[in-house]
Structure 1
Amino acid sequence: MSAGSRSSAGGTASPTLETVAAAAGVSRATVSRVVNGGAKVSPEVRAAVEAAIADLGYSPNRAARSLVTRRTGSVALVVSEPEARVFSDPMLAGITRAIGQALAETDLQLVLMMVPADSGRRRLTRYLLGGHVDGVMLMSLHGDDPLVKELSLASLPVVLMGRPMSPLPIPHVDSDSVDGARQATHHLQALGRTKIATIAGPSDMCAGVDRLLGYRQALDGPGIVARGDFSMASGEAAMTELLAREPDVDGVFAASDLMAAGALRALRAGGRRVPDDVALVGYDDLDVAELTEPPLTTVHQPLSAMARAMVASLLRQIAGDRAPESVVLPNALVVRSSA
C-alpha cells in the first residue's frame, strides 16, 4: 500500500488525491486545483483528472476541502415563521421545494432553519455568522427584522425573498405584488362588480403591504379592507367580518389563495353563491386554487423562476462577484370559475 492510500473497512484502498494524480499522470497539486475549482488547469488536463476521479470513484473529503477553499459547501434558507407554519403553509413549502430543486444543480447543500423565539435568535445569528454556511437566503420577513440588519453588516452573501420593509444594501427577489393585485381588482371591475372588498395580508410584510396598495390603486380609493395573516382560518374570519359590515359586497380580492379558500367557507356559510353573488379572486396560484369548489381565479406567482433567481444571486456572491441587482418578476392572472 502506498503512503497516499488508506484502507477501508473491507481492506480495499480508498482512492486519494495521490492515487488520482498517479492515474491521471499529473501532480497532486493539479488534482487539488481541479477538485477545488481552480482556474489554472488546461481543458485536456482537467478532462484527464475528471476521468481518473470517475474511474477510481474518488470522493473529496469535505472537511479537508473546506480548509483549502474556506467554504462549507452549505447554504442556509432561513424562514421567519414558526415550524408548524413552515410545514403547513403550501406557499412556504412550495418555495422551499423550488429552492431545493434549484440547488440540486449545484454542489451546495441546503440547511433549512426556522427563526426561533427571541431566546434562540442570538444562537441562530451566531451560527450564521460563525462560518458554518457560505450564504443565506431569507424568506417570510416580518417588519424590520434585526437579523437582516446584522447580516447586511457582515461579509456573508445574503439574498432576500421579497423586498425588505426598509431599504437595505442586500439584493432581493420578488414578484410584482402591486401589479398582481391591480390585475386581480381590475378583473373584478371588468366583471361589473361595483362593491369590491379585499382581505389584505399582514401589514408587517411587504407582500401584504404591496397587494393592498395594488388593490387601492385599481379602485383609486381606500376601498373596503379586512385583514388576515395569509392563513385559511384568517380568511374565513375576515370574510365573516366583511359580510357583517358590508352585506352587499359583490367582489372580493383575497391576498392569498389560503385566505380565499377560507373566504369561500364563510361565503357558503353566509348563503352567498360564488361567483353569482360574490366573485372571488385569490393570489399565488397554489394547488389549493384548483381544488376548491368552485376553483379559484388567482394571480400566478412564478415560484420556480424566483427560486432560481435567488440561487443565482447567492452563487454570484459566493463566487466573489459584486452583489447583483434585485430582481422583480411579473405575475399573471389565471381565470377559473370563482370570478
Structure 2
Amino acid sequence: MSSTRRQPTLDTVAAAAGVSRATVSRVINGSPKVSPEVKTTVDAAISRLGYVPNRAARSLATRRTDSVALVMREPDATVLADPYLGNMIIATSHTLMGTGVQLVLMNAQNDAEHARLADYVRGGHVDGVLLVSMHGDDPLPEILLGAGIPTVVGGRPQRLLPGLTYVDVDNLGGAVLATERLITIGRRRVATVAGPPDMTAGVDRLAAFQDTLSAAGLDPTRVARGAFTRESGERGMAEVLDRWPDTDAVFVASDLMAIGALRALRAAGRRVPEDVAVVGYDDIEMAKHTEPPLTTIHQPVVDQARIMAELLLTQIGGDPVGDPVVLPTVLVERESA
C-alpha cells in the first residue's frame, strides 16, 4: 500500500463538513450567501484536512499569478496618514520593479474583513503575502502557513510559528538610545508616550525605556499610552503633563505621536527643549520640519521593505524559509533634545 497521502479535494471537504460541493466553493470564494455557521464549519474542515484550492495549488506550482499581497491590518485612515506604512508601500513597489511581480495592496480593519482577506489569499489569487502592522495574536499567519502560502512579516509577530520568518528593526536598542540621550543631556524626570500594547514594537520600546531608566536609578513609571497616531500623541502628552507636571523630558514612541506631543506642549506653554526635551522614533520626513526639529531614532524602513520582498520572492521560487532579520537603528540628533 502506498504511504503517499492524497491531496484533499472539494468533495473531501464537503463530506467532512456535511455540506454540498457548491457550498464549499462559495465559502472559498467569499460569497456572502453563506451563513456564518456554515462558513465556520467549512473553514474548520479546510483547516483540518489541509485543503488548498486547485487554483492555489496551480499558482504555487507554476507561479503564474505573478503577484504578491501587502496586507496591512489597520483602518484606512491610519494607512493613509502613517508615513511608515506609506514608505513601506513605496519601497516594496520599488523592490518588485523589474521582477515581473505585481503588488496588490490589501487592508483588514476588522474581523469580518480579515476573514474575507484570508479567503481571498487562500483562494490562490496571489503567490505570497507580506504582512505589516500586525496587532495581537493575529490568526492570519497561521492560516497562510497552513495553506502553503509563502509569507513574510514586517516586525516580530507576537507568536512565532515554524516556517514563518520576519524582518524587524531593533526596537529595544532604539529605545535605549532615545532614553540614554535624554539622561545624557541631564534630564531626570523622564516620561514616555508608549505605543500600543498589542504590537511588539510598542512593547519592546516601552520595556527598553523602563529598563534604561531603572538602570540609571530614575523613575520608570511615568507612562502614558498612544496608538502611533498624532492625535494619541497629543492626548498622551497632555496626560503626562496632568499627572506629572514636573516632567522635564519625554520619549515618544513614534514621530507621528511626537508631532502631537509637541502641539500639546505648546498648548501648555512648555518650551522645547528648555522645559521639556523630546525624542521621537521613526525619523519620518516631517521630523526635520517640526518646531523645533525633532531628535529621533532612525529605523531603516526602506531596507526592511526590500529585505521582506526579497525573502518572499526566494520562498516563492522554492528556496527554504530565510532566518529572521533584525535591522539596526541610530539616533538622529536635532534640536528637540
TM beyond 0.5: yes
- TM superposition shift of 1:212: 0.4
Does residue 1:100 correspond to 2:93, yes or no? Answer: yes
Does residue 1:160 correspond to 2:153, yes or no? Answer: yes
Larger Rg: 1
- Which of 321, 324, 328 in structure 2 is aligned with 1:330? 328
Q: Percent identity?
A: 56
One-letter amino acid of the structure 1 residue matched with residue 281 of structure 2: Y
Where do residues 271-290 of structure 1 align in structure 2 (5 Å cutoff)? 271-290=269-288
What is the rounded CA distance, in whole Å, between the counterparts of 1:200 and 1:135 in structure 2? 32
What is the rounded CA distance, in whole Å, between the counterparts of 1:70 and 1:230 in structure 2? 37
Does residue 1:150 correspond to 2:143, yes or no? Answer: yes
CA contact (8 A) 1:182 1:218 kept: yes
What is the rounded CA distance, in whole Å, between the counterparts of 2:118 and 2:59 in structure 1? 21
One-letter amino acid of the structure 2 residue matched with residue 202 of structure 1: P
What is the rounded CA distance, in whole Å, between the counterparts of 1:187 and 1:267 in structure 2? 20
Query: TM-score normalised to the size of structure 1?
Result: 0.79
CA contact (8 A) 2:255 2:283 kept: yes
Does residue 1:176 correspond to 2:170, yes or no? Answer: yes
Does residue 1:243 correspond to 2:247, yes or no? Answer: no
- TM superposition shift of 1:153: 1.9
What is the rounded CA distance, in whole Å, between the counterparts of 1:303 and 1:116 in structure 2? 22
- Find the counterpart in structure 1 of residue 305 from structure 2: 307
* SS in structure 2 of the partner of residue 233 of structure 1: helix
CA contact (8 A) 2:60 2:127 kept: no
CA contact (8 A) 1:196 1:223 kept: no
Does residue 1:202 correspond to 2:196, yes or no? Answer: yes
* SS in structure 2 of the partner of residue 111 of structure 1: strand
For residues 219-252 of structure 1, the C-alpha deviation after alignment (integer angstroms, 9 at most, x for no partner) is 1263310000011110111111110111110010
Q: Which structure would you say has the larger RCO, counting Cα contacts within 8 Å and 6 or more residues apart?
A: 2
Does residue 1:72 correspond to 2:65, yes or no? Answer: yes
Query: TM-score normalised to the size of structure 2?
Result: 0.79
The verdict on how the C-alpha distance between 1:204 and 1:66 changes in structure 2, with shifts beyond 3 A counting, is closer
What is the rounded CA distance, in whole Å, between the counterparts of 1:155 and 1:233 in structure 2? 40
One-letter amino acid of the structure 2 residue matched with residue 117 of structure 1: N
Q: Across the two proteins, how many residue pairs are aligned to each other?
A: 275
- Find the counterpart in structure 2 of residue 294 from structure 1: 292
What is the rounded CA distance, in whole Å, between the counterparts of 2:260 and 2:241 in structure 1? 13
User: Gapped runs of 5+ residues in structure 2?
Assistant: 1-57
CA contact (8 A) 2:59 2:124 kept: no
- TM superposition shift of 1:71: 2.6
CA contact (8 A) 2:92 2:309 kept: yes
What is the rounded CA distance, in whole Å, between the counterparts of 1:121 and 1:67 in structure 2? 22
- TM superposition shift of 1:198: 0.5
- Find the counterpart in structure 1 of residue 124 from structure 2: 131
- Find the counterpart in structure 1 of residue 55 from structure 2: none
CA contact (8 A) 2:59 2:127 kept: no
- Find the counterpart in structure 1 of residue 319 from structure 2: 321
* SS in structure 2 of the partner of residue 305 of structure 1: helix
CA contact (8 A) 1:138 1:161 kept: yes
